[in-house]
Structure 1
Amino acid sequence: MTYAIDFDGVIHAYSRGWADGTIYDPPIPGALDGLRALMKQNAVFILTTRDPGQVAEWLTSHGFTCRTAHDGPFWDVRGVLLITDRKLAATHYLDDRAVPFENWDQALADLGQTHTTKEH
């Protein structure tokens, strides 16, 4: 399996939002051990809107082996974190701001919209 993990709010605590664009917080408690546990049996990549090199440097300082270059549509390398701003294929996405999708009525309600979909 391949896991796509969001960086801000899932790994990096992100307590002040984007702020000045730096990675200023420590990891969220359990994040680094969680990544290591996933990486033992799965391919894992970090999906971020940040500069991948900046995120790779931060994760490398926490003991991870990282790559920022990859050309294919899939990431299937175990033991190395790919840091990318591209949404690659994955079996699971872990994101602190995701809206789970079941159907459009539920999704619109979760997004605070009152419209009900009707198929024509």
Structure 2
Amino acid sequence: MTLAVDFDGVIHAYSRGWADGTIYDPPVPGALEGLRALLDQDAVFVFTARDIGQVAAWLLDRGFHVRVGYDGEFWNERGPLLVTNRKLPATAYLDDRAVRFTDWDQALAALLPERSI
């Protein structure tokens, strides 16, 4: 399996939002251990709108083997943690701002709660 993990709000606490673009917070509790557990079983990539070099350095400082600059279509390499700003195919996405899609009625109810369907 390939798993995609969002950076801000899932790995990095992101308590002040984008702020000045720096990575200012500690990790979300359990995030580093969780990433390591996922990496033990699957190919994992971190996706972010941030500068990928900055995110990679932050993860390197916390002991991860990180890869950047990947231009393939799929990520299925177990071991290194890919950092990318591309939405690659994955079995699952772990994101703090996601709405799970099952059908359009459910999606519109979640995204537009004031609208009656």
TM-score normalised to the size of structure 1? 0.94
Structure 1: which 4+ aligned runs deviate by more than 6 Å? Answer: none
Q: What is the alpha-carbon distance in structure 1 between the residues aligned to residue 116 and residue 69 of structure 2?
A: 42
Q: Which residue of 1 aligns with 2:34?
A: 34
Unaligned 5+ segments in structure 1 are none
Bigger Rg, structure 1 or 2: 1
- Equivalent residues in 2 for 1:48-67, closer than 5 Å: 48-67=48-67
Q: Quote the RMSD (CA, aligned, Å).
A: 0.9
Unaligned 5+ segments in structure 2 are none
Tell me how far 1:73 sits from its aligned partner.
1.0
Q: Which residue of 2 aligns with 1:17?
A: 17
Q: Residue 59 of structure 1: SS of its match in structure 2?
A: helix
Q: Which residue of 2 aligns with 1:99?
A: 99
Q: What is the alpha-carbon distance in structure 2 between the residues aligned to residue 53 and residue 75 of structure 1?
A: 18
For 1:14-54, what per-residue CA distance to the aligned partner results, in whole angstroms no more than 9, with x for missing partners? 00000010000000010000000000010000010001100
Greater CA drift, 66-75 or 84-93: 66-75
Q: Which amino acid aligns with 2:75?
A: W
Q: What is the alpha-carbon distance in structure 1 between the residues aligned to residue 82 and residue 5 of structure 2?
A: 10
Identity over aligned pairs, percent: 68
Kindly tell me the number of residue pairs found equivalent between the two proteins. Answer: 116
Q: What is the alpha-carbon distance in structure 2 between the residues aligned to residue 35 and residue 61 of structure 1?
A: 14
Q: What is the alpha-carbon distance in structure 2 between the residues aligned to residue 92 and residue 102 of structure 1?
A: 14
Tell me how far 1:70 sits from its aligned partner.
1.0
